[in-house]
Structure 1
Amino acid sequence: MTDTPFSKALAAIDAAHALDPNKITVNNTEAPYELHYAQKCTSYLDQRSPSASEPLRLAIRAQHFRRWEVPRSSYPMTRVGYHAWRTFLKKRQASLVEAICLEAGYPQEAAERVGALIRKEDLKEDEETQVLEDVACLVFLDDQFEAFEKEHDEEKIIKILQKTWGKMTERGHELALQIPMGERPLELVKKALAG
């Protein structure tokens, strides 16, 4: 691989992901959770939009950049606290990754585009931002939903699933319906889509 701005930025993003102290075991191999998450995002991007631009590829790889450094518990455990946490994270992640892009040799405009995508600006109008949203929803359904649904009551889960589904495009829906799921998560998805 040549030493391009893209390869340098990607390597720097993944090096930071590898520092995540939270671990996950997949196929008997332990990995830093954020690195696993980022790789999963890239694999869904390859299915959702194989010809994605470099800024979109970098934004998708970095959308949870260093998230473990600002735990959810650092904000009030309320709906308002959750939204404040998410807003802060998007701005922080975008700023950190923009700096990586500039250091890797991208022009200011390209670095700012990566940041705008991470902040999910113009979600319904910007096709690339919508692709990023699809990927985030797909990874949630594939990688986090099964554990998540065990922590909440059915009514809340169904509302979250309906909200998630509403954020996605038709192509996102097609890919979501191909995700292998356990019996209980699948039952909840069917209930949510029927509602």
Structure 2
Amino acid sequence: MTNTPFHNASELIDAENAQDPNREIYQTKSYPKELLYSNRMYEKLMEFHPDASEAVQIASKAQHICRWKIARETYPMDRVGYLKWREDLKKFHAKTTAGILEKVGYDSNFIARVSFLIEKKLLKKDEETQLLEDVICLVFLEFYLDPFVQKHDRDKMKNIILKTWNKMSDKGHQEALKINYSSANLQLIKEAIGL
């Protein structure tokens, strides 16, 4: 079983993400930042939707593959620059993943589907794109909301939370409200979404 294309692709994605020079401390242990993110994405997907297709599973792991290679600072520090950076990142993640999937023997239709998902095409219309977006938002709310709260003022945070909320499905919303937030962050979320 271990030598399946899925297993081989997962190992190669992990190997790429393990090269991230940026580190994140989680429960006193230091991890390459994007490897930790990839693991969180995959674990959250399997918890939220255990029968997710293989394409979504790979897309979840590869969502930020080698993200550090395209630095935000190399784009204008305004909204237009930010959106261009995000767009270029999606294409880069899709292309990097496609190369790995080709190497381990996936066919072109499967590779195209994973690229479609990583590029988050047809959000709200394609069920699997929506599933992936739900997982991205859940991982953000559970693990990355706090660092954002430290950096931004309350109004900006409410705006970020509302934008996140609006990208999610009803099932995603239900799951998001089960996360164990600090009381201050839960209050912030409730204010942002009008609960």
Shorter-chain TM-score bucket reads: over 0.9
Report the equivalent of 1:136: 136
1:1-195, aligned counterparts within 5 Å? Answer: 1-194=1-194
> Which consecutive aligned stretches of 4+ in structure 1 deviate over 3 angstroms post-superposition?
none
Describe the superposition over 1:33-61 as per-residue Cα deviations: whole angstroms up to 9, x where unpaired: 11111111111101221101111100010
Alignment RMSD: 1.1
Deviates more, 1:126-135 or 1:1-10: 1-10
Distance of 2:18 and 2:9 partners within structure 1: 14
Query: Retained in 2: the 8 A contact 1:48–1:171?
Result: no
TM-score normalised to structure 2 length: 0.96
Distance of 1:2 and 1:187 partners within structure 2: 45
| Unpaired runs of at least 5, structure 1 | none
TM-score normalised to structure 1 length: 0.96
Q: How many residues align?
A: 195
Q: Deviation of residue 15 (structure 1)?
A: 0.4
Matched residue type, 2:84: A
Distance of 2:70 and 2:143 partners within structure 1: 21
Matched residue type, 1:67: R
Identity %: 44
Matched residue type, 1:37: Y
Matched residue type, 1:132: L
| Unpaired runs of at least 5, structure 2 | none
Distance of 2:166 and 2:175 partners within structure 1: 14
Provide the secondary structure at the position in 1 that maps to 2:151. coil
